[in-house]
A and B are shown apart, each in its own frame.
Chain A
Amino acid sequence: MSVNTSSHTERRIVFLIIFLAVMVPLIFPIGWGSEVSPIARMSYDLIDETPAGKYGLISFDYEASTITELQPMAVAQIEHAWSKGQKIIATALWPQGPQMAEASFAEAKRNPAYADKEYGVDYVNLGYKVGGIVTLQAMGSSIRDVYPKDSSGKNWDDLPMLKGIRTLKDLAWVSSLSSGVPGLKEWVMIAHDVHNVPVTGGTTAVSAPGFLPYVNDQKQLHGLLGGLKAASEYEMLIDKKGPATTKMDAQSVAHIVILLLITLGNITAFRRKRAKANLTGGQNA
């Protein structure tokens, strides 16, 4: 009973410490810098080196739960593509994707530099389709057949920027912001491996290790943004102090606190083990 009570108290103390570790840096930012990793730069370079007037597709394959990590990536990529004069098509393999796309475009348009970007001319939101990888296979034959209308019900023909688009091969790049299946992996398998369209993307930090094998010599993935840190690196590359940069301090402090807790946990375990050994030694003697 006493062990349980002690364990519960310990848990509550840990929760309180983590709460403070996250809250305090959000209120009083520290401003720690960050180094841009090569794979985040690869992702940036793909959009940066695409000529103006070309089409990029961002697939919003996530939902509200992972908005903190993935939304800053979406906004940064949209602003970057617009700054280079590219046009953006938004699609979604997850039901809440169209809302995520809508929110990202609205956020990017709050920047006065992009306030004049026009729906149907500079960007479209084609919405959500069920079917995962099969939907992508069908888009390889005809995107229009899969999305005859956009998310608000407008016909494909009424959206001027889509006139030059037929299949996935007409896209200069694809970026899947993905928090699970279907998502980035499916885009690599179809858009890159079948149609040879450069694919990049972003995932939550916890999923990123699983996607690193795709960042290889064949460039199945043209760089990868893994978690909030990569989002802040992307913001740094486009010279923007956005939400990811602001939240990185909180994440950094929380990580350090977790490391300290691990150290403390090990010291406690070591002391318990030694006390137990002493007790056993005393009884044997």
Chain B
Amino acid sequence: MKRNIPLILAFVSGLIVIFSEFIPHRPFSSIVDSLQEWFMIISGFAMLLGVMSLLRMNAAKVSTRSPDWQYHLIGIISFGLMVLMGALWGMEEQAGILGQGASISAWLGKKPFDYTYTHVFVPLSATLFSLLAFFIASAAYRAFIIRTLESNLLMIAAVIVILGRTGFGTMLTGWLPESYRFWHLPNLADYIMQYPNTAAQRAIMISAALGVIGSGLRIILGIERSYLGGDK
């Protein structure tokens, strides 16, 4: 019974949503509207769950002194500080427990939460993402080696696309007359992206869509039960 009720609920809800696509009228449309609202509310709780999970995982690593536990501690402290600053003085136009924090905002130029977000969080996030450039360069140097015909083709396509995406590539073939416009590196790069790449992407997308339909049907029909917390 404990398992059958959720299975029945999933089956009925799934059927209603499918029917509403083909019969967009009452009662299906109004039921689907309510289901959408429920979904948004439940998604909000998922964020809360994420925060609790983050704290629990990091706290466990600190308490067991696992390798690099100091970083996890810094993570928890940073999280706590941001919550505290947001709760005490609010963010942007919203007030916190201590009001708008006019004096501290005058000193920092912004509210403490906004100041930390703009001057600490944003640069750190952008820096972390930018580090990818270093790893890509290093990986390209060591791994992008021509060994077979396929890797040869991949290399030629990569060189054209990389050069076509740079101002240097534009300059390199910019002198070609208008009648040879197709051979301009940016145009060649666009051709590779729009035809061979798009064909492959479409195949991937169609396969993925079929997979999603399959797994959706498995959930509605009660074959896939892992979302209930096990397969028994």
| Cβ A266 vs Cβ B166 within 8 A | no
Whole-angstrom CA separation of A15 from B133 in the bound complex: 9
Chain B residues with CB under 8 Å of A115's CB are: none
Contacts of B184 in A (CB 8 A): 35
Which residues 141-160 of B have a CB within 8 angstroms of A?
Answer: 141-146, 155, 158-159
Fill in one digit per residue for A6-19: 1 if any B CB lies within 8 Å of its CB, else 0.
01001100110111
Task: Check B53 for interface membership: any CB of A closer than 8 A.
Answer: no
Quick one: which of A15, A19, A65, A227 contacts B125, CB cutoff 8 A? A65
Question: Considering the complex of A and B, which 8 residue pairs feature the smallest CB-CB distances, nearest first?
Answer: A32-B167, A252-B166, A64-B125, A65-B129, A130-B43, A131-B40, A261-B141, A64-B122
- Which A residues are in CB contact (< 8 Å) with B130? 68
Q: Which residue from A19, A38, A249, A261 sits with its C-beta under 8 Å from B167?
A: A249
A42 within 8 A of partner (CB): no
- Asked if A15 contacts B186 (CB within 8 A), the reply is no
User: Is the beta-carbon distance between A252 and B117 smaller than 8 angstroms?
Assistant: no
- A257: Cβ under 8 A from any B Cβ: yes
- In whole angstroms, what is the CA distance A29 to B163 when docked? 18
Given contacts A259-B159, A269-B145, contact A33 B167 (CB under 8 A): yes
Which residues of B have CB within 8 Å of A258?
Answer: 136-137, 140, 162
- Asked whether B71 is an interface residue with its Cβ less than 8 Å from the other chain, the reply is no
The answer to whether B167 and A252 have CB atoms under 8 Å apart is yes
CB distance from A205 to the nearest CB of B (A): 7
List residues of chain A with CB within 8 A of the CB of B197: 209, 212
A66 within 8 A of B: yes
Q: List 28 A-B contacts (CB under 8 A).
A: A7-B142, A14-B138, A18-B137, A32-B171, A34-B170, A35-B186, A35-B187, A39-B190, A65-B129, A67-B122, A68-B130, A95-B47, A99-B117, A102-B92, A103-B118, A129-B40, A132-B43, A134-B36, A152-B93, A152-B94, A209-B201, A212-B197, A213-B205, A252-B166, A253-B168, A256-B168, A258-B137, A265-B143
Tell me the residues in window 181-217 of chain B with beta carbons closer than 8 Å to chain A beta carbons. Answer: 184, 186-187, 190, 193-194, 197-198, 201-202, 205
A83 CB contacts on chain B under 8 angstroms: none
Does residue A229 face the partner (Cβ distance < 8 Å to B)? Answer: yes
Q: Cβ of A138 < 8 Å from any Cβ of B?
A: yes
Known contacts A138-B37, A213-B198, A213-B201: does B166 contact A32 (CB below 8 Å)?
Answer: yes
| Selected contact of A212 from candidates B37, B93, B169, B198, CB within 8 Å | B198
A-B contacts, CB under 8 A, total: 155
Tell me the nearest residue of chain B to A256, going by C-beta.
Answer: B168
Docked-complex contact A265 and B144, CB < 8 angstroms = yes
Most chain A CB atoms below 10 A, which of B138, B167, B194? B167
Q: Is the CB–CB distance between B166 and A256 below 8 Å?
A: yes
Q: Is B180 an interface residue (CB 8 A)?
A: no
Instruction: Name the CB-closest residue of B to A17.
Output: B137
Q: A229 contacts B126, CB within 8 Å? A: no
A22-B133, A131-B39, A265-B145 are known contacts. Are A67 and B165 too (CB-CB below 8 A)? no
Most buried by B among A7, A129, A208, A261: A261
